[in-house]
Chain A
Amino acid sequence: MNNKSVLTRIKNWNLLLPVVSLLLVMAVNIIHDAAIGANPLSFFMITLRQTTGNGTILYGRIIDILNRGSEVAILAIGMTLVVSSSAGTDISVGSVMSLCASFCCMLLAGYGVSSTTTLAVPLIVGILGGIFIGVLCGMFNGTLVAYFHIQPMVATLILFSAARAIGLLLCNDLIVYVRNEAFGFFGGYIGVIPTAFVIAALCIIVTSLFLKKTAMGMYIQSVGINPKASRIAGLNSKRMIFMTYTVCGLFAGIAGIVAASRITSADSNNIGLYFEMDAILSVALGGNSLGGGKFSLAGSIIGAYTIQAITTTLYALGVSSTQAPVFKAIIVILIVAIQAPPLRAFFKRRSAAKQVKGAAV
């Protein structure tokens, strides 16, 4: 280990490109700020700010990214496992988020009530109920993919289209408002820190511990690489795939609660809209193959926050929210391109050629 130079170790670091991508986005901010004459480091500035209510909170672009990017980060955890085990994606997570939010708010407000300040059932019942629905959705997807051998895209297409509508049904076609301080907590702040970020961090830590302390990580990768061989070696390939979809549903549920709490309502039509795409993109930006097998959870998380960083940056640059997707697409193309194997091989060849030249001189 010691005789390897720091440079080679950085070069061989599997998170190199995701991190570089994130740094690039930050660099854009710095350059922009410098160009308009503002403090170049204003991107990194974190200040304490009085809220309209009582307390003080942390404020700054980084805080905003960590706060707003949390739902996608939570979804990206589950998506990473799904992609690894089944070489497919769960495109229902955005809709399932919305369903979980609706179910949670319906429980809290009572069926047919469109706005409430008092809770019909204890808060914990509503929260767990919402998450439970997420788990059920995950189990449904998992059953279709693992036991009925339906292609993941098709299997999850069912809930992709249905879940949001079921949510509306549960809410009697209304947007249910739960204007309750306790419920607003999940989209608010713990002390000075955004709760959403704390929840995302907890999800990441628990999952990482699970992957580290059990053989789950190896099982999932093994099944993703070669399900037949894994079965012969004693793994239950189907059960592993079922499990990853269930976990993905669980995280969709958690993300749904956070999203609902942010706006203290269950807005079926908007909660989690297009989030499935961001979650899938996070996995890809993290340098993970969508063909399944080996995965890096850290990569996906960095990917998720990179996406939010791009969005925040665009707003900071003054790009309007309607045009933002265009610029977002351009940046994504660049990031994906620098990670693409042909380009990586190209740079490798070039640096090799340089070395040969150097040696000759």
Chain B
Amino acid sequence: MEGNVVLTARGISMTFPGVKALSNVDFTLRKGEIHALMGENGAGKSTLIKCLTGINDFESGEIHVDGISGPVKNHSTKDAQEVGISTVYQEVNLCPNLSVAENLFIGREPMTKLHTIDRRSYNKRSQKIMDELGIAVDVTQNLENYSLAIQQMVAIARAVDMECKVLILDEPTSSLDDEEVEKLFTLMRALRDKGVGIIFVTHFLEQVYAVCDRITVLRDGQLVGEYPIAELPRVKLVAAMMGKNLDDLAEIQKESIENVEQKELEISAKGLSHTGTIKPFDIDIHKGEVVGIAGLLGSGRSELARAIYGADKANTGTLKVDGKEVKINQPIDAMNLGMGMLPDDRKAEGIIADLSVRENIILALQAKRGMFKQLSRAKQEEIADRYIDLVRIKTPNPETMVKQLSGGNQQKVILARWLATNPDFLILDEPTRGIDIGTKSEIQKLIVELASQGKSILFISSEISEMLRTCNRMAIMRDGEKVGELDHDLTQENVMKAIAGGEKEA
């Protein structure tokens, strides 16, 4: 092993039922570098990482870690941690019902002389760790009381504190806002300077160029190549990931905004609120209109949508759908009024992991029909096949369990679930989070297309640029309150200004 190399993987292969997830992949990580692992959904990034961390048993190949003689074969994340490989995953894998401090030290609690857990010491140490990272939390509070972003940072803090040689960050930034991302980058650079090798998996190209030294690209389970960052400009990276040149996202054309004004109202909310999450807000959405909700993470973006959909039952206010005043007590009421909602937390509120792709797709449609009017098996298969084609879900077959698909494909399954119900009003909460660019542009195109069919879309995203591309109008959220709307001069700068604060807009 070379002097400065901390981890090498040679010829790693791995098969899932029906899918060759990795074939003969090499990977090298050096001391003190931030190494981006890039590839589209299903390219094998997550699988490779799970091989490194012992979650997956790879079939062939060898992994070597600096300071350990002989090949390393991890059988659990604990094994991996013992050889110095720590991981923070895309979806936070901590225990929400334990305190922040307990989460930081779970499995390695400091002990008193009596062999009981030394609570005082670990609370103190935890607070120190979090303070050093500049994360404002009370470590004695349960993790579930904090936002997804904070939970993510706790996960990173935990990994960092375990004095790892290799830190793997799998989509750590997909739920962080810009400021938090910058904080994370500062931390990553500091760790790099200390000699930690960092593997960084992300879909955000800007972030790769902002912080990484080297890039390894995977495509369809195979290694495309390893490049120093200077030798791989952005266009080439995209080309390497997709295996072709990207016809730019810019080709998506917005519906002309002028038409919308004459169209009828689909949704009209007055003074809707949900205690504790969102203050009373008004919003009008016309037929064929795409309305974006912009705001920082935790500003009430999702909560606004949830109050309309009945995911959190509105406490006050009135809601008109198609001109008629309605009462929505739970999601099924909203669905019967022609609504659908793709929630932002795919794992917790989206997929039914152990059911097949087919069942996941027809679930909402079946729920709308009611328990006693079962769709025939033939009909179910027809619908599943149609949407697998339409949104291009990569799955061995419709009977594959949805949990075996990659994250982006799972997201497409949920999208298919709602398209199958043929909704008039669709709420898409972060539909492109953790999804590769190719799919992102597909989803954006789909949004514009749905709107042109006269459907109304409420689109929530952390990426302002993608909302700019698709939205006719944007609602601006700040601190659990809708503070204004922008319907002309939609530019990145204007939206940022509006989010950042100042005067209330009309």
CB within 8 Å of B: which residues of A? 213-216, 218-219, 221-222, 225-226, 228-236, 293-294
A234 touching B352, Cβ below 8 Å: no
B455 at the interface (CB under 8 A from A): no
B487 at the interface (CB under 8 A from A): no
Report B113 CB to chain A, min CB distance, Å.
Answer: 36
B355 touching A233, Cβ below 8 Å: no
Query: In the assembly, what is the distance between CA of A266 and CA of B417, in Å?
Result: 52
Report B414 CB to chain A, min CB distance, Å.
Answer: 9
Q: Which of B316-347 contact A (CB under 8 A)?
A: 330-332, 335, 341, 343
B298 at the interface (CB under 8 A from A): no
Query: In the assembly, what is the distance between CA of A188 and CA of B151, in Å?
Result: 62
Query: In the assembly, what is the distance between CA of A215 and CA of B335, in Å?
Result: 18
Query: In the assembly, what is the distance between CA of A226 and CA of B414, in Å?
Result: 14
Q: Which of A215, A231, A236 has the most CB of B within 10 A?
A: A215
New contact pairs (20) apart from A215-B369, A219-B367, A230-B352, CB-CB < 8 Å = A215-B374, A215-B375, A218-B366, A221-B354, A222-B363, A226-B349, A226-B353, A229-B348, A229-B349, A229-B351, A229-B352, A231-B311, A231-B331, A232-B350, A233-B352, A233-B363, A233-B367, A234-B335, A235-B363, A293-B354
- Residues of B contacting A293 with CB < 8 Å? 354
Known: A221-B354, A222-B355, A228-B348. A233 touches B371 (CB 8 A): no
Query: In the assembly, what is the distance between CA of A214 and CA of B373, in Å?
Result: 6
Query: In the assembly, what is the distance between CA of A233 and CA of B311, in Å?
Result: 10
Return 5 A-B CB contacts under 8 Å, by A number. A215-B371, A218-B363, A226-B351, A229-B343, A236-B330
Query: In the assembly, what is the distance between CA of A293 and CA of B137, in Å?
Result: 36
B311 touching A235, Cβ below 8 Å: no
Nearest A residue to B417 via CB reads: A233
A294 touching B354, Cβ below 8 Å: yes
- Residues of A contacting B341 with CB < 8 Å? 232
Report A341 CB to chain B, min CB distance, Å.
Answer: 13
CB within 8 Å of A: which residues of B? 311, 330-332, 335, 341, 343, 348-355, 359, 363-364, 366-375, 417
Query: In the assembly, what is the distance between CA of A225 and CA of B347, in Å?
Result: 11
Query: In the assembly, what is the distance between CA of A226 and CA of B331, in Å?
Result: 15
- Residues of A contacting B350 with CB < 8 Å? 229, 232
B363 touching A232, Cβ below 8 Å: no
A228 touching B330, Cβ below 8 Å: no
Partner of B332, one of A213, A226, A228, A234: A234
B343 touching A232, Cβ below 8 Å: yes
- Residues of B contacting A232 with CB < 8 Å? 311, 331, 341, 343, 349-350
B331 touching A222, Cβ below 8 Å: no
Q: Which of A214, A233, A236 has the most CB of B within 10 A?
A: A233
Nearest A residue to B365 via CB reads: A234
Partner of A236, one of B332, B352, B364, B372: B332
Query: In the assembly, what is the distance between CA of A213 and CA of B375, in Å?
Result: 9
Report A30 CB to chain B, min CB distance, Å.
Answer: 37
Report B24 CB to chain A, min CB distance, Å.
Answer: 18
- Residues of B contacting A216 with CB < 8 Å? 371
Partner of A219, one of B343, B353, B354, B371: B371
Q: Which of B352, B354, B364 has the most CB of A within 10 A?
A: B352
Known: A232-B341, A234-B368, A235-B332. A221 touches B355 (CB 8 A): yes
Query: In the assembly, what is the distance between CA of A216 and CA of B374, in Å?
Result: 9
Report A55 CB to chain B, min CB distance, Å.
Answer: 42
- 3 closest Cβ pairs, A-B complex: A234-B367, A234-B332, A215-B374
- Residues of A contacting B372 with CB < 8 Å? 214-215
Query: In the assembly, what is the distance between CA of A229 and CA of B373, in Å?
Result: 21
Query: In the assembly, what is the distance between CA of A228 and CA of B354, in Å?
Result: 14
- Residues of B contacting A226 with CB < 8 Å? 348-349, 351-353
- Residues of B contacting A225 with CB < 8 Å? 352-355
- Residues of A contacting B348 with CB < 8 Å? 226, 228-229
A222 touching B371, Cβ below 8 Å: no
Partner of A215, one of B351, B353, B366: B366
Query: In the assembly, what is the distance between CA of A135 and CA of B349, in Å?
Result: 32
Report A80 CB to chain B, min CB distance, Å.
Answer: 16
Nearest B residue to A234 via CB reads: B367
- Residues of B contacting A215 with CB < 8 Å? 366, 369-375
Query: In the assembly, what is the distance between CA of A235 and CA of B369, in Å?
Result: 11
Report B384 CB to chain A, min CB distance, Å.
Answer: 13
Q: Which of B343, B349, B368 has the most CB of A within 10 A?
A: B349
Query: In the assembly, what is the distance between CA of A214 and CA of B355, in Å?
Result: 17
Nearest B residue to A294 via CB reads: B354
Known: A214-B374, A228-B348. A235 touches B354 (CB 8 A): no
Report B256 CB to chain A, min CB distance, Å.
Answer: 33
Query: In the assembly, what is the distance between CA of A190 and CA of B349, in Å?
Result: 51
- Residues of A contacting B353 with CB < 8 Å? 225-226
Query: In the assembly, what is the distance between CA of A158 and CA of B341, in Å?
Result: 39
- Residues of B contacting A222 with CB < 8 Å? 352, 355, 359, 363
Query: In the assembly, what is the distance between CA of A42 and CA of B426, in Å?
Result: 66
Report B321 CB to chain A, min CB distance, Å.
Answer: 16
- Residues of A contacting B330 with CB < 8 Å? 231, 236
Report A331 CB to chain B, min CB distance, Å.
Answer: 30
Report B184 CB to chain A, min CB distance, Å.
Answer: 28
B371 touching A214, Cβ below 8 Å: yes
Query: In the assembly, what is the distance between CA of A221 and CA of B371, in Å?
Result: 13
Nearest B residue to A212 via CB reads: B374
- Residues of A contacting B355 with CB < 8 Å? 218, 221-222, 225
- Residues of A contacting B331 with CB < 8 Å? 231-234
Nearest B residue to A213 via CB reads: B374
Query: In the assembly, what is the distance between CA of A70 and CA of B330, in Å?
Result: 41
- Residues of A contacting B367 with CB < 8 Å? 219, 233-235
- Residues of B contacting A218 with CB < 8 Å? 355, 359, 363, 366
Report B189 CB to chain A, min CB distance, Å.
Answer: 38
Nearest A residue to B366 via CB reads: A215
- Residues of B contacting A228 with CB < 8 Å? 348-349
- Residues of A contacting B375 with CB < 8 Å? 215
Partner of A234, one of B351, B364, B373: B364
Query: In the assembly, what is the distance between CA of A236 and CA of B370, in Å?
Result: 11
- Residues of A contacting B349 with CB < 8 Å? 226, 228-229, 232
Report B335 CB to chain A, min CB distance, Å.
Answer: 5
Query: In the assembly, what is the distance between CA of A25 and CA of B190, in Å?
Result: 64
- Residues of A contacting B332 with CB < 8 Å? 234-236
Report A355 CB to chain B, min CB distance, Å.
Answer: 13
Nearest A residue to B403 via CB reads: A225
- Residues of A contacting B374 with CB < 8 Å? 213-215
Query: In the assembly, what is the distance between CA of A228 and CA of B341, in Å?
Result: 13
- Residues of B contacting A230 with CB < 8 Å? 352, 363
Report A344 CB to chain B, min CB distance, Å.
Answer: 15
Query: In the assembly, what is the distance between CA of A219 and CA of B417, in Å?
Result: 15
Query: In the assembly, what is the distance between CA of A57 and CA of B370, in Å?
Result: 45
Query: In the assembly, what is the distance between CA of A34 and CA of B335, in Å?
Result: 65
Report A8 CB to chain B, min CB distance, Å.
Answer: 12
Nearest A residue to B311 via CB reads: A232
